Structure 1
Amino acid sequence: MEILVKNMFASLFLLCVCSLAVFFYNFLWLKPERKREQLRRQGIKGPQPTFLYGNISEMKRIQSTEKMSRKDGAVVHNYALTVFPYLKQWRKDYGPLFMFSTGSIQLLHVSDLDLVKEIMLFKSFDLGKPSYLQKERGPLFGNGIIASNGPIWAHQRKIISPEFSMDRVKGMINLMVESTLPLLKSWESRVESEGGIGEITVDENLRSLSADVISRACFGGSYSKGKEIFSRLRAVQEAMSKKCLLIGIPGFRYLPTKNNIKIWRLEKEIQSLILNVVKERRVAATTCEKDLLQALLEGVNASGVGPDEANRFIVDNCKNIYFAGHETTAIAATWSLMLLALNPKWQIRARAEVEEVCGGRLPDSDMVRKMKTLTMVIQETLRLYPPAMFVEREALQGLKLGQIYIPKGVNIWVPIITLHQDIDIWGADAHEFNPERFARGISSACKTPHAYIPFGVGARTCAGQNFAMIELKVVLSLILSRFTFSLSPKYCHAPAFRLTVEPEHGMNLLVKRV
């Protein structure tokens, strides 16, 4: 009898192991392979994936080879070749439309302009943000407006978009000026103390400045009050960038690796800090001006959800705005200063415009509107160095884009930098800094206007683009009015992908008073 029971348990154990093996084989290989086969039948090719890892091993190999041959330092704007060399290689091998895999995630690389236009025009909730943003990037984005889909996203957009309308943003210009003036004073002191020319790592300063602006504009407090939140968000961003190629490997984010443990700890700390800010606001709600935080509180109260769900809603969207509202703008300002430092004629031209428009006064909404040259400089900066590298979408249901059927679960990557520097679209000088191309607006800057997408495409276009453009004009105009600048000999040009594209070794400029 005892032997019979042991045999039964052994048989059950073996059955469970076999069942799990079949389940995982189906989940990790057969299911993704069916999606790939549907794409292959439509003539879409790509590198052959391996079990569990997809094409990650090949991506690492190509990237490692490229890194060994790369010489950091030379300022080459066509940096996508070094940051994502495997996409360059596969585009050369398979054309503008190809597929590849990271773990169990199936990706469709789309740089075909007709399909990009289809994505822009697609209105249905069937095409949304990738689910891996909530899973793999959850500690940074959660289910906030950047990563959410369907009715939840529509509700968030309805709350957040009005707070970044042009009329609202114009009312924030004085606040932006007030935040920038201390930066100018600190640079003046630095220049004076170093004998008339100061060497400044400007990206660090601009990140703090942009954080102060978004704190004051949206959350009713200065950067010093939210400093701990920003420092932890930055730490999460850096930790996540270390495992960019590992998204899609099943279960990897649950492993207690040193990096994952750090991310989990930071996520809890960020949530606690944001809830403290929310608690203070709820106490002082009757005396506070209407801002984004207040709109989020009122929006979640009107939805009638429970306290835990309400807290998640507020925390996730605060994280999204804290991150997107300061990180991307600071990086855009950093690259703008680099390009003006490299192109002194445009620096002189932009400064002359600021002096003519402002006449020695601090900028206001009317002055900002008249800064055409500075607008062109910013637009060209966002063409060459867009903060985001990809427009990311997922087919939440099977759907058609043009003549292509996209199976449910397939992710779409539109490489922004590839479109922004395509010679066939922008001309022979596509890899060069030439703001003049925007002299007659975006529609005349290139052959196909929908190839210029620094703020995304379609219904999911960045809600804060008005805020970003105005802040960039205010900050750059004030810097230009006080300082001239050039690249420091210490600067080493090496754009790096850390969820945004930023200078790997910092941005060192030599700064002196006008």
Structure 2
Amino acid sequence: MESLMVEIAKTIWWILVIGVLGLGIRVYGKVMAEQWRVRRKLTMQGVKGPPPSLFGGNVPEMQKIQSQTKHYSGDNIIAHDYTSSLFPYLDHWRKQYGRVYTYSTGVKQHLYMNHPELVKELNQANTLNLGKVSYVTKRLKSILGRGVITSNGPHWAHQRRIIAPEFFLDKVKVMVGLVVESAMPMLSKWEEQVKRGEGETACDVRVDEDLRAVSADVISRACFGSSFAKGKEIFSKLRCLQKAITHNNILFSLNGFTDVLFGTKKHGNGKIEELEKHVESLIWETVKERERECVGDNKKDLMQLILEGAMSSCDGSLEDKTQSYKNFVVDNCKSIYFAGHETSAVAVSWCLMLLALNPSWQTRIRDEVFRFCKNGIPDADSLSNLKTVTMVIQETLRLYPPAAFVSREALADTKLGSLVVPKGVCIWTLIPTLHRDPEIWGADANEFKPERFSEGVSKACKHPQSFVPFGLGTRLCLGKNFGMMELKVLVSLIVSRFSFTLSPTYQHSPVFRMLVEPQHGVVIRVLRQ
């Protein structure tokens, strides 16, 4: 009798296993059939691409190309096309199939789109049917949440209406003095380092970490009414999260069987979940403290606007409202904390690296700053006169844009020019490749020539819509005005006080960690003016 029960249990077990496998294969087969249908729609419109394998799509080929790619080890830093090292498969297929092609990562079909006319169409597409890539936003949820950067549709539009006005030009101009104030301790620190050189004419300074601290202080005070010292642990944990998440390939790893059955999971391990909970707890503590401070305060900063927006967006039961309120606030704070300071710090780091290699442009900036800014300190009125500073920053953002991609997912069949992009297709525009295309920028596309922007972006290249360091279209970076102001102020302050060259210890190695940043930091040899 006992043996019979065991046999029955085994039989039931195998029926369940076979049933689950059968269901999984059926679901996966249906998804794969849809991907082949989507691919066929694209190929019928003349879009070619590498043939995918049955289960892995083009991921095995991507991994093979990546493994065969050699790391950069040359002296011509500026001309280094780092995309061929970071994303060699995209570069390989572009040379084979042109500026528009399709490829697969298992159950996801992608469209590489670096043709200037199609980029223009993407820029002009005023629709909610082009959203952020869903599987990537899920993988980045721990660091960005479902805030204004990653959300789609009406939820995104609602958040944008709340946050965007805080970054309008009139508001940004008021913050110039705040940036100057935040930068002064860093400048004093560097001056002390030079003085301690004991007879040496210059000293080496690693600038990227100091710039992160300054940028974090700026975003904390400008948007959340607190200093970097108060939010230091938040920024530290966000940086740890950033490194942990990007340890694996978050963009183009295999989307396969488990993703279909269980959804896209966060890449990493328990460490990511632990860091995420810690960050959210720290932010929520800051929020509650800010709520107490704001009682009877008529002056509204971004934090207060987010709190009010969260209240208006919540519905349902009291418990649901409380959780929805908390999620709305924490997610948007995470997005702004990360994007608001990390991108600026990386951009200024690359700018100083390029200026260290081009001392003549340091002189031109210095002359301009002292001509228009009292004591070399920019203010809201003088900032618009700093044309040389603007040109240098624009050229930096062309050669080394912190954001590597403009990415969109077609949430419905969407027409871009003569091309119909099927629902579910992920669109990728590789910004550095677009910014270094000789057919767009000329034969000197890989050279540092800020003068190309002397008459503005519209005259800088053949297709002005191909300059997209802040993204494009309806999803253009909300902090563009704020970011440009901060970059101008920081570059002006640094160059007016120091002259510098690139330190012999500097190792040029751009790396992709959600942003394209210097893997080993930027080390410059500083001389006090």
Give TM-score scaled by structure 1 length.
Answer: 0.95
Match of 1:236 among 225, 236, 241: 241
Tell me what 1:489 maps to. 504
Tell me what 1:19 maps to. 23
Are the equivalent residues in 1 in contact too, given 2:242–2:514 (CA < 8 A)?
yes
Are the equivalent residues in 1 in contact too, given 2:399–2:432 (CA < 8 A)?
yes
Query: Which amino acid counterpart does residue 222 of structure 1 have in structure 2?
Result: S
| Matches of 2:50 and 2:264, distance apart in 1 | 28
Match of 1:282 among 291, 314, 324: 291
SS of the residue 2:101 aligns to:
strand
Displacement, 1:280? 0.6
Tell me what 1:62 maps to. 65
Are the equivalent residues in 1 in contact too, given 2:194–2:527 (CA < 8 A)?
yes
Match of 2:301 among 271, 291, 295: 291
| Matches of 1:51 and 1:365, distance apart in 2 | 58
Displacement, 1:105? 2.2
Tell me what 1:192 maps to. 195
Are the equivalent residues in 2 in contact too, given 1:496–1:504 (CA < 8 A)?
yes
Tell me what 1:456 maps to. 471
**Does residue 214 of the first structure (1) align with residue 219 of the second (2)?**
yes
Displacement, 1:24? 2.6
Identity %: 49
**Does residue 71 of the first structure (1) align with residue 56 of the second (2)?**
no
SS of the residue 2:381 aligns to:
helix
Displacement, 1:172? 0.7
Q: Structure 1's 101 and 461: CA in aligned 2 closer, same or farther, altered over 3 A?
A: same
Taking only aligned residues, the RMSD between alpha carbons, in angstroms, comes to: 2.2
**Does residue 227 of the first structure (1) align with residue 232 of the second (2)?**
yes
Tell me what 1:394 maps to. 409
Q: Structure 1's 263 and 249: CA in aligned 2 closer, same or farther, altered over 3 A?
A: farther
**Does residue 49 of the first structure (1) align with residue 52 of the second (2)?**
yes
Match of 1:181 among 181, 184, 189: 184
Tell me what 2:311 maps to. 301
SS of the residue 1:339 aligns to:
helix
Q: Structure 1's 361 and 420: CA in aligned 2 closer, same or farther, altered over 3 A?
A: closer
Tell me what 1:85 maps to. 88
Q: What's the CA shift string for 1:264-317, capped at 9, x where partnerless?
A: 111111110110011111112225531111110011112243010111111111
**Does residue 144 of the first structure (1) align with residue 151 of the second (2)?**
no
Query: Which amino acid counterpart does residue 275 of structure 2 have in structure 1?
Result: L
| Matches of 1:294 and 1:7, distance apart in 2 | 60
Tell me what 1:33 maps to. 36
| Matches of 2:273 and 2:424, distance apart in 1 | 27
Displacement, 1:134? 2.6
**Does residue 421 of the first structure (1) align with residue 423 of the second (2)?**
no
| Matches of 2:185 and 2:139, distance apart in 1 | 38
Are the equivalent residues in 2 in contact too, given 1:118–1:402 (CA < 8 A)?
yes
Q: Structure 1's 314 and 133: CA in aligned 2 closer, same or farther, altered over 3 A?
A: farther
| Matches of 2:291 and 2:279, distance apart in 1 | 18
Are the equivalent residues in 2 in contact too, given 1:390–1:416 (CA < 8 A)?
yes
**Number of residue pairs the alignment of both structures matches:** 512
Displacement, 1:78? 2.2
Are the equivalent residues in 2 in contact too, given 1:77–1:384 (CA < 8 A)?
no
| Matches of 2:17 and 2:505, distance apart in 1 | 63
| Matches of 1:440 and 1:21, distance apart in 2 | 59
| Matches of 1:85 and 1:298, distance apart in 2 | 45
Match of 1:268 among 271, 277, 292: 277
Are the equivalent residues in 1 in contact too, given 2:369–2:376 (CA < 8 A)?
no
Tell me what 1:135 maps to. 138
Q: Structure 1's 79 and 17: CA in aligned 2 closer, same or farther, altered over 3 A?
A: closer
Q: Structure 1's 258 and 123: CA in aligned 2 closer, same or farther, altered over 3 A?
A: closer
Q: What's the CA shift string for 1:199-231, capped at 9, x where partnerless?
A: 111011111110110001001111111111111
Displacement, 1:64? 2.0
Are the equivalent residues in 2 in contact too, given 1:328–1:500 (CA < 8 A)?
yes
Q: What's the CA shift string for 1:322-373, capped at 9, x where partnerless?
A: 1111011111101111111101111111111111111415221111111010
Tell me what 1:246 maps to. 253
**Does residue 162 of the first structure (1) align with residue 154 of the second (2)?**
no
Query: Which amino acid counterpart does residue 71 of structure 1 have in structure 2?
Result: S
Tell me what 1:385 maps to. 400
Give TM-score scaled by structure 2 length.
Answer: 0.92
Within-5 A mapping of 1:304-319: 304-305=314-315, 306-319=321-334
Are the equivalent residues in 1 in contact too, given 2:186–2:214 (CA < 8 A)?
yes
**Residue range with higher mean Cα deviation, 342-351 or 280-289:** 280-289
Q: What's the CA shift string for 1:425-461, capped at 9, x where partnerless?
A: 1111100000001101110111111011111111111
**Residue range with higher mean Cα deviation, 395-404 or 329-338:** 395-404
Displacement, 1:415? 1.2
